[in-house]
Every structure is written in structure tokens, then in C-alpha cells.
Amino acid sequence: MSTAGCTLQGSNDEEHLQNTSVQNITWDNVTVTVRDRRTKEPKVLLDGINGMVQAGECCALMGPSGCGKSTLLSLLSRRPIGAKVESGQVLVNGTHLSDLDFRSISCFVEQDDNLTGALTVSETVMFSSLLSNKRDATTQEHKFRCLRLLASFGLEEQAEQLVGVAFRKGISGGQKRRLSVASQLITGPKILFLDEPTSGLDSVASYEVISYISTLARRYNLIVICAIHQPSAAVLSLFGKVMLMSRGTLQYFGANNGLVEYYKGIGIQIPQHVNPAEYILETISTNFSNDQAAAIEKVSKLHYEWKSSSHAQQLKTAISTVSCNKESLGPALVANSSSRPGLASRILILLRQSFIKSYRDFVVYGIRYMMYICLAIVCGTNWLKLKSTQYYIQLFGSLVYVCTGFMAFMAFAYVPAFLEDYGQFLKARRNGIYGATEFIASNFIVGVPYIFIIAVSNSAINYWLSGLTPTTEAFFEWTMWQFFNVLAAESQIVLLTSLGPNFVIALVLQAIIMLVWLIVGGFIIMPHLMNRFWKFFYYWCFVRFPFEGMLRTQFKGRLFDCDSTCHCMYPSPMQSECKIPGEIVLQALGVKDMSMAKGVGIMLAITLAFRLASWMILLTKK
């Protein structure tokens, strides 16, 4: 993406970033409890928490581990907290907003970057812009916006560099964190939530990240609320407001420059040449105290000191004043929601993004392509030049079984790539960018041509090496069944990974399901010999339809020679001619006649059922 001409654009490029509608966010007397697993009694996570952040301010949420800052951040950003809200309310401009409306003016930057490694830095921000900003904006306008924002985050020189994929190094950790923020900020939020944005970064990178964020908050009049763990003195100085918590209670909320003075006023002297944040966090922490009872008592006293302070009274007054002077957000919400791209546009944008990833990231389809080529070579050279004699009948059947079974089983290699997409989906869904429909539709469409290439390449090698039926019609029918087999297998992987979005869990589920499919597929145990329980799975086994279809391509119309004494392994109506019709073998294997159209229809139905089930599961994800 060229930077030429970027300076020709006026401030209009940044209008969508400028906050002119959201004046403040307040939370008053927020109390949250959860049921203690050991005592079965309610356990307080947040106890009467108050706060207010105004436009243009950066607020740091700080406290020892387990103090409740992550719970509060999730509550403020309308994310699931897995607990019960006993009291309190969160207002924007003194008004309660629905979750949908709130997400249209806010976004959440997670602790994990969850970036698509195959995209460049500029493409990452560009796709976020296309998915969330004005549908009538030109591509050039989107480019200028992205370049200006990248320049603001100090990422202009890395604009054409990949984020980073396997076998190809990308940008640094600090640059990824800045890119994560930029990719969310381009969507035009008025309220920005960040969860541990400096986690895993050194002091220099941490300062850079927070410095860029605080500068942009002032420039665009944004509200920034950031949960941060033990910042350095330099990083802490970048925040205008600080909120301190311990054991779910509020210890301080106010101006950063008043923090040291407040604690000095209640008798806690912070030594010189010591990081104030570090010293205060040690003071209010109970995590590693030898005397827990004394430490808890100390925290309770400090909380009482805060509640009795003039700072706490001023905060309550400010919150009450905002609640009385409500300011409507209606026009801003309507303008924001109506400017977003439609469903079809979002699907097309995701398709474009997915295609870029599919050919740049070797893990997505490159590794799988190599696996399937290796399978074709191994099968083709082991079942080399099969002959039409009765001694090869078993080999024909085993070849078809191995091809269908392993082609389906090896779809597990898609799990890592899908997990990356899944992480992107969750982030986008929670921030109101796109949903399950767009994700499932684009994911399915982008895979079709690659699966077709895999099926053709595998068949072209294996089919002719093995000496299968040498007709064009039989070859293309074989290839077609392989295509639908892998298409259904990939859809099954999407379903299982959506159900258990973890690499190990997805692999275990795939292994168990494929074990069942391979056993009940109709080759190891004949259908008529299965008991009722397993025969139910036989009818639902998607692998059996390609297996039976590919058997038909090799046995239907083929004659197998009996031995030299005309002894035939199967009862044959052509025994006098020393021949066994392939149809007799199909009958012995329990393969019933089925039209190709019906078989294809069933495979499509199974594939779409897997995708529909995946879509329904993803709808429940929060």
C-alpha cells in the first residue's frame, strides 16, 4: 500500500475517529457476586464500585492479581462475566444503552493479539476498516485512513510487512500489540477497552504502546479504560486517571497526579526513588502476606479511608450530576449502525481476506496438499497396477477403503488454521463487526477450490498408478467422490473445532469420530453383520457414500478372471466362462445400487448439516 498522496487528504479522513457524541461513561455502586465452589455461599467479586471517565481521558485499572479488575473491565465492556450482578448500573452520557447499541460505539482489545499472520500490517487495518466503516467510502479513502492511523502508531515502515506466519518471521511483539489496537481503533469506537496491553512486553515496548494510545485518546477525544498490571513510573504517568482495587473493593479513583498525595494524606508515605504504582500495589495486596488476617484487615481499613475521603464524595457527586443531565446518543447510534456494510458485503470482504490467507499461509492448505500428494504416491506405489483377477478383488476394496478413510481423517490438519480464524471471529463478534453467518459462509466458500485441487491432484497420481478402470468417466467420478469426501470431512472439522475450540480437544474428537466412521463404513464389518446400535451409525457415516460410490466405479461392468481351474471365489453366473462380474462382488460387500445424483445429494446434505450445526454453535459464543 503506497503512502504517496496521503498528505493530500484533509482532516475528513479522521472524522470517523473523532468522538463528538460520547461525553462520559459512569458506573455506580456496582456489586457482583459468584457462588463459591467450596462453601456454596455467594462470594463478592466487586463491592460497590464507582467510577467515571470522560472523553479524552485514559484511565488505568490497577490492582493485585484477583482484585476484580478483569471482572470490572468485562462488565463495563458488556462481556460475559460468569457471575451475578447484584446492584449498580453502567451509563453512557447518563443513559443506559442496549448491548447492541453499546457495541456500536465501543470496542475491546484483548490481551491476546489474535491477528491473521498471513496479512500485512496495512491489510490488517484495511480489512477492519472495510468491515466496519462507511459502505459508501471508496477504497482510496479507506487506504488513506489506514495509512494515517498506522503513522500515528509508528507502524508506517512496517505497513507492507507480514504480521507473521509459520516459517516466516513477522513484526515484533510490541508492534503486534500496537497493530491490535490500531485494527480496533480504525472501526471508529468512542470508548476503547484494553485488557493488559503491556503483557509480555519489555519496558520500552510497554511505554511505546501506552504512549500511542494516550496520544490518540487526546487527539480524537476518546474514552480509554485499560486494565494494566504493575506499570513502570513512566507508563503510569501517561494515564490521566487511576483506579486502584483490592479484594473487590475500591481503594482509589481519581487523577493520576493526586495518587501520591492521597496516600500521603492517609498516612502512607511513598519513599523517594520508588515506583509509586509498585509500592502502592504491594501495600494493598494480600496475595503473599504471611498473616492473611492482618493483611485483609489492612485492606478493609484502607477501603474505609477511601469511602470517607473527599475524593470519594466528589466522585459520587460527579456521577449523580451526569445521571441528572442525560444527553441523547440516538442520532450518533443511528448514523453509526446505518453506515456499516451489509451482510453480503461483509461476506465478500471476508472471502477476500480468507483467500489471501489461504495462499500465503502454508499451514492452511499447503501442508494438507503435501500430505494428500504423499498419500497418493504411497497408495499408488503399494497398489501398483492392479489386475482384473479374483486375487486382486480384496486389493481393490482395500485401496478404496484406505483412500476414502485417510482422505477424510487427514482433514485434521485444518485445525490450526481454523483456530486462528475462530479467534478472529470471536473478537469480531464481541465487537459487533461480523457474526457467525458471514464467518461460516466465507469459510466454506474459500475452501471449495482448494479441496477440488486436492481431490484432482491426489486422484491424478493414485488412480493411474494403481491401474484402476482406465476410462475418463470412471476417473472423474472417482475424483468427484474424493472431492465430496474431503469437503464433508473439512466441514466435520469445523463443527468439532467450534464445539471444542482447542487444538488437543479438536484432535481427540476427530480421532474418536473417525475411528467410528472407519469401523462402521462398511468394509471392515459388512453392513448386514452389524448389530442394531452400530448400524445406526453406519447410516449416518458420511465416509460410506464415497466408499460405496468409488467401489461402483471399479466393480460395476468389470469382469474378474477366476483361477486357472475355473474355481471362482464368489458364486458367479459366469463361472462357465471363468469370470466373476463386479456386480457380484458389490453384492457380497453389501453395496446397494444407488444413483450418483442421490449419493451426491446426500453428501451435500451432510456437509451443509455440519456447517449449519457449526453456525448454531457459533451463535451461542459470547
pLDDT tens for residues 128-144?
999 987 666 778 888 88
Q: How far apart are CA 118 and CA 357, in angstroms?
A: 5
Q: In the chain, which residues have pLDDT < 70?
A: 1-14, 134-136, 323-339
In DSSP terms, 59 is beta-bridged to 225, 241
Residues 534-569 as b/e (b if ≥16 CB within 10 A, e otherwise) read eeebbeebbbbbbbbbbbbbbbbebebbbeeeeebb
The residues near 20 (Cβ < 8 Å, ≥ 6 apart) are 221, 332
pLDDT tens for residues 182-239?
999 898 899 999 998 888 788 888 898 899 999 989 999 999 999 998 888 899 999 9
- Which pLDDT belongs to residue 11? 45
Domain segments of the chain: what residues? 6-338, 343-619
Q: What is the CATH topology of the domain spanning 6-338?
A: Rossmann fold (3.40.50)
pTM: 0.87
| Amino acid at position 161, single letter | Q
Pick the closest to residue 420 from 343, 491, 368, 353 (CA basis): 353
Bridge-based pairing of strands 249-255 and 106-109 is: unpaired
- Which pLDDT belongs to residue 13? 56
Torsion of CA 519, 523, 527, 531, to 10 degrees: -30
